[in-house]
Amino acid sequence: MKHVGKQISTNDKVILLFREVPGEPDNCLVCRTAALSQDDHDSLITVLESEEGQQTNVLAEILHVKMNGAGRPILESLHTSGKIMKLPASDVALTPQPGQAISLSEVNAAIRGQNAETSSAPGALSDADIAADLRRQAAGMQKEAERLLAEAEELSPTKKARAKKTTTKKATKARASA
């Protein structure tokens, strides 16, 4: 399972939130599972085990938008309760399967090497390509948001929409009687 590991020096089980701290590639951010409340543990494990949690390369990105039982973003809850720890990547081993441990430092080095190869590889996406794709995604999301807002207005109009509807009905009656 992705994002699961242990702190080598203490043998504590950890969930890997960020493989690297921005600007500090030799450090990572983790959360010790034993230090969590039952609610935080259950919320975190549910997201971790989900398809979305297993497909992401940075678990914290998903935890930033997923809510815990109290209705707060899981990542925010872990941060405000002091449950996120910065550790040297060399002190963390990923344990994707029982009995299997891989040094996070080695994983990070392999990913860095892979990213360097990919960035110079022919056919790699340019920044302009990525930006165009992000704009396309945003436009699609914007259309979906507008559709959802319209549907919400139909179900339960806001005061502004009701006032506009009343004004429109009065204007229609006035034209009809003229």
Written as one letter, the residue type at 130 is I
Q: Rounded CA gap, 33 and 13, in Å?
A: 6
Reported pTM: 0.64
The stretches of the chain forming alpha helices (DSSP H) are 38-49, 51-55, 59-63, 74-80, 104-120, 127-155, 159-177
Q: What is the pLDDT along the chain (178 residues), one digit of tens a residue?
A: 899 999 999 999 999 999 999 899 999 999 999 999 998 999 999 999 999 999 999 999 999 999 998 899 999 999 999 999 999 999 999 998 888 899 999 999 998 887 776 555 555 667 777 777 778 777 777 888 888 888 889 999 887 766 666 666 666 676 766 6
Sign of CA dihedral 94, 96, 99, 100: negative
Q: Rounded CA gap, 118 and 96, in Å?
A: 25
Q: Rounded CA gap, 86 and 98, in Å?
A: 24
Domain ranges in the chain are: 4-120, 127-177
Those residues whose C-beta lies under 8 Å from the C-beta of residue 76, and which sit 6 or more positions away, are: 64
Residue 28's φ and ψ, nearest 5 degrees, are -135, 170
Those residues whose C-beta lies under 8 Å from the C-beta of residue 108, and which sit 6 or more positions away, are: 19, 20, 25, 89
